[in-house]
Chains A and B, each alone.
Chain A
């Protein structure tokens, strides 16, 4: 997984594969996102090719933390396998997903 922050750290672009092996890196990414001042935090996924069940779990934890902090977590432009995983998991009922 590769991460690139944008817009005063309120948006991060994740690319490659997002799996359990990335949990330490994503924890740091999430902490940095929540330090941003913006209300809405965006995780841009257009370059993400694969996500496993642990990756989904980490996004759900990030969502809970955003909710506790009164912030909104938006998942943007999922493609391919990631989009299918979101659809089957009904992530559209849990997150705001930008097509």
Chain B
């Protein structure tokens, strides 16, 4: 241990019983085992001071590194928290999108749309039924009119026969009146009147036939048109309501499922936000860590100052002790071997052997260290 064993052995030899008192400090002190021992202590104190300074620098660097990394992490988590909040807002807006659509700047719930479409389709089906019923009623009515027209045509044919007979009777009456001479004058007048009546009836019959033909033609045209309308099969349109209702029900159900999923997503997003907030709060540990390390640094400084004070006091009493024993490089090597981080070992080696802290070897100025690089070992 830092050459003390050698010095202690020499001191033990020097303190054997019967040995005279401690040698006084004189020119031959260099070979006094007590002096060797003190020089060894002084050398150890010097090395301890270097170790303390290096440790203080190391702690300060590490504290700064931790604080910087913690601040960096905190900043990232804050951005994450902000993103989580925005994401929650977006997901919440999805809830409205899933439940309704915008119509003329007014949100209309999907269920309301489905109900409206259902009512409209029901109304369309009712009108189709009414149209079908009225069309068939008109078809029935026209069929009955057609049957009546056939009867009217039969009546017209009989009327022609009656008229023809009447005309024939009038002609015969005129012939007989001519045969009767003066006695048949009155009868001739009646025969002429009957003949005129027959002509008028014939003219009226012709007019009625013409009008009846026009009526028959009109009814035929109407019947053709009505048949064309009535034969349009609207059963597919009626069943379309059935299919649309199934689709609408599925759409409403899908909207409900989507709404539930979005609600779950909102809940999860809220939990994520809460977790991130908790992590940000948890990262405040670096304040306490820094304060603790400052205390450690302070204690180490006090120890270092005490060692320096002892060295000064000792040197004032025995200036020749300023000539220190050579550093125990084996002890230094043993200490450095305990470090697994090469850059830290190199830093300690440089500082312990030189005796003053090397600002360039410390890490706080290194951008690589600022990124939190980790040496694997």
- The residues of A with any CB-CB pair to B shorter than 8 Å are 19-21, 23-24, 27, 50-54, 56-58, 60-61, 81, 84-85, 87-90
Contacts and interface: CB of A to CB of B under 8 A. Distances in A.
Contacts of B232: 53
Interface of B: 122, 125-126, 128-129, 131-137, 139-140, 143, 227, 230-235, 237-239, 241-242
Contact of B136 (A23, A81, A84, A90): A23
B133 A60 contact: yes
A20 B140 CA distance: 12
Is the contact region of chain B dominated by helix, strand, or loop, or is it mixed? Answer: helix
Contacts of A19: 233
Nearest to A26: B136
A26 to B, nearest CB: 9
Contact of A57 (B136, B227, B241, B242): B136
Contacts of B122: 90
Given A56-B129, A60-B129, A89-B125, A51 B231 contact: no
A57 B239 contact: no
B238 A85 contact: yes
Given A24-B143, A54-B233, A89 B238 contact: yes
Contacts of A21: 231
Contact of B235 (A24, A52, A61, A87): A52
A26 B134 CA distance: 16
Given A61-B133, A84-B242, A88-B238, A53 B233 contact: yes
Given A56-B129, A57-B133, A58-B136, A88 B233 contact: no
